[in-house]
């Protein structure tokens, strides 16, 4: 037989539940405000005590209201926060199961995909998914089996709030840890995000890919092309993360493809260059026609395709030159960090590519970064210094040695053409000397595995020439 005190508590609970059932939107909003204020941070036993061992009766009302009204309810954010109090409470496994049994995960994922729902509500939805994912492997698998990775990744790409995007990154990071069944799915989803238009999403995806890469231990075939394309970004924080990922990837089976891709970016294709020249000429005509008085023309700028001729936009082909500059920078980072990578790059005609990039008068940053990276190779390898000197000529070479970083400001058109059309072939020189001979003379002895790998590059170059 229940005591008078217990009866009074039960009566208060029934009265509270009846108040909720009869309340309209405004009244329910007030009820939720009070609930959030008084119960935030409570444990499951404390919530049960607050609701006279009937907390689940209120939770089921919250989840029912969520499922019925999440498309139009103005209290959605408060509803999600209230549910979060239950799910994040210590010893709340029972509440979690009750929420999942009524399709809670699917509802949260659907909220992320609806455009009319406010960003703050979506952020709360992501936080609830974090709580669920952090509850164990089974729950991570449930999210993935509900097409969660796709929904979460798409939301990361479309979200306009950097704070919300960072919460999504935390969720994806959780899904890639302790989830062997679906970690590859998360990894592929992150790679698929790299071409998206949101710089913040690109930055966060690159960071999380590095984590996923170390967990999975193998690479996806598409990762090289995707990362190299990201180098065309104008956002330095994205470029930094891309180069950090490249530094990791050279330790995997995509090393050769990655190094080849970086060197290839140093010399844009003739087709792309021709397109750019046409656009630059067109842009200059438009500038003379409608943009006089706007100041000096800037390389790779053209008139915007808008009704206002005074508005300038970056030419569509600029990413090609941004990639060129970033590739020169990445090559320099890799070469300075690892001598063996620098040696491999010599067999891929990196010196020729760097000198060609130095002659690109349409993009000064390409010239500057390529010059700094070439300086690194010249300092590391006397053989490179010898051939660069011959390729540049004495006067230009001395200018280069005196200040590689500022060389681009001192170049005239003839010197730029000499660099762009250079015929320097370090690979041929190494082959004539004999790979092992030149390496031993210049850099000391190598172990057999390293020499075999370098010989592979040498043979490959010979075959390509034939």
Inside any domain, residue 184: no
> How high is the mean pLDDT of the chain?
86
Inside any domain, residue 53: no
pLDDT score, position 279: 56
Are the C-beta atoms of 297 and 284 separated by less than 8 Å? yes
Higher pLDDT, residue 461 or 273: 273
Inside any domain, residue 424: yes
Inside any domain, residue 377: yes
Inside any domain, residue 344: yes
Q: What is the pLDDT of residues 395-428, one digit of tens each?
A: 999 999 999 999 999 999 999 999 999 999 988 8
Q: Which residues contact 351 (CB under 8 A, 6 or more apart)?
A: 374, 377, 384, 387, 388, 424, 426
DSSP category for residue 306: S
Host domain of residue 327: 264-270+319-465
pLDDT score, position 99: 96
**Given pLDDT bands bounded at 50, 70 and 90, which one contains residue 368?**
very high
Answering whether pTM is above 0.75, one says yes
For residues 303-319, one letter each, b for 16 or more C-beta atoms within 10 angstroms of the residue's C-beta and e for the rest, the string is: bbeeeeeeebeebebbb
Checking if the pLDDT of 452 tops 70, the result is no
Inside any domain, residue 354: yes
Inside any domain, residue 431: yes
Inside any domain, residue 458: yes
What's the structural domain count of the chain? 1
Q: What is the pLDDT of residues 263-315, one digit of tens each?
A: 999 998 766 665 555 555 455 444 333 333 333 334 444 333 444 443 334 45
Following DSSP, what letter does each residue of 27-59 receive, concatenated? Answer: HHHHHHHHHHHHHTT--HHHHHHHTTT-HHHHH
Are the C-beta atoms of 405 and 372 separated by less than 8 Å? yes
Checking if the pLDDT of 454 tops 60, the result is no
């Amino acid at each position: 037989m229940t005591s008078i005190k217990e009866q009074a508590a039960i009566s208060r609970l029934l009265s509270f539940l009846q108040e909720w059932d009869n309340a309209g939107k405004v009244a329910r909003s007030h009820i939720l405000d009070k609930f959030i204020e008084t119960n935030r941070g409570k444990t499951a036993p404390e919530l049960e005590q607050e609701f006279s061992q009937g907390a689940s009766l209120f939770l089921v009302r919250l989840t029912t209201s969520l499922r019925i009204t999440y498309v139009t309810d103005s209290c959605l954010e408060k509803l999600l926060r209230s549910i979060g109090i239950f799910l994040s409470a210590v010893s709340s496994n029972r509440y979690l199961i009750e929420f999942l049994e009524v399709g809670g995960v699917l509802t949260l994922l659907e909220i992320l995909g609806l455009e009319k729902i406010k960003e703050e509500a979506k952020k709360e939805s992501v936080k609830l998914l974090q709580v669920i994912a952090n509850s164990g492997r089974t729950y991570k698998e449930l999210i993935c089996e509900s097409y969660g990775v796709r929904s979460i990744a798409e939301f990361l790409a479309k979200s306009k709030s950097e704070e919300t995007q960072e919460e999504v990154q935390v969720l994806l990071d959780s899904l890639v840890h302790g989830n062997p069944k679906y970690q590859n799915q998360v990894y592929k989803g992150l790679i698929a995000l790299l071409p998206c238009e949101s710089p913040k999403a690109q930055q966060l995806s690159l960071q999380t890919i590095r984590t996923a890469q170390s967990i999975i231990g193998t690479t996806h075939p598409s990762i090289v092309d995707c990362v190299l394309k990201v180098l065309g970004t104008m956002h330095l924080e994205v470029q930094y993360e891309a180069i950090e990922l490249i530094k990791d990837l050279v330790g995997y089976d995509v090393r050769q493809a990655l190094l080849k891709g970086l060197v290839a970016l140093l010399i844009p294709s003739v087709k792309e260059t021709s397109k750019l020249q046409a656009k630059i000429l067109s842009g200059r005509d438009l500038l003379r026609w409608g943009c006089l008085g706007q100041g000096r023309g800037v390389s790779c700028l053209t008139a915007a395709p808008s009704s206002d001729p005074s508005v300038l936009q970056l030419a569509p082909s600029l990413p090609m030159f941004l990639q060129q500059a970033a590739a020169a920078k990445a090559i320099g980072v890799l070469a300075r960090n690892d001598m063996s990578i620098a040696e491999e790059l010599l067999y891929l005609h990196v010196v020729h590519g760097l000198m060609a990039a130095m002659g690109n008068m349409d993009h000064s940053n390409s010239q500057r970064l390529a010059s700094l990276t070439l300086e690194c190779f010249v300092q590391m390898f006397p053989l490179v210094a010898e051939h660069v000197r011959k390729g540049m000529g004495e006067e230009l070479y001395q200018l280069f040695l005196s200040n590689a970083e500022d060389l681009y400001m001192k170049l005239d058109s003839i010197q730029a053409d000499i660099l762009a059309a250079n015929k320097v072939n370090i690979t041929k020189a190494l082959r004539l000397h004999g790979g092992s001979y030149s390496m031993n003379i210049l850099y000391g002895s190598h172990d057999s595995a390293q020499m075999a790998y370098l010989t592979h590059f040498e043979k490959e170059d010979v075959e390509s020439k034939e």
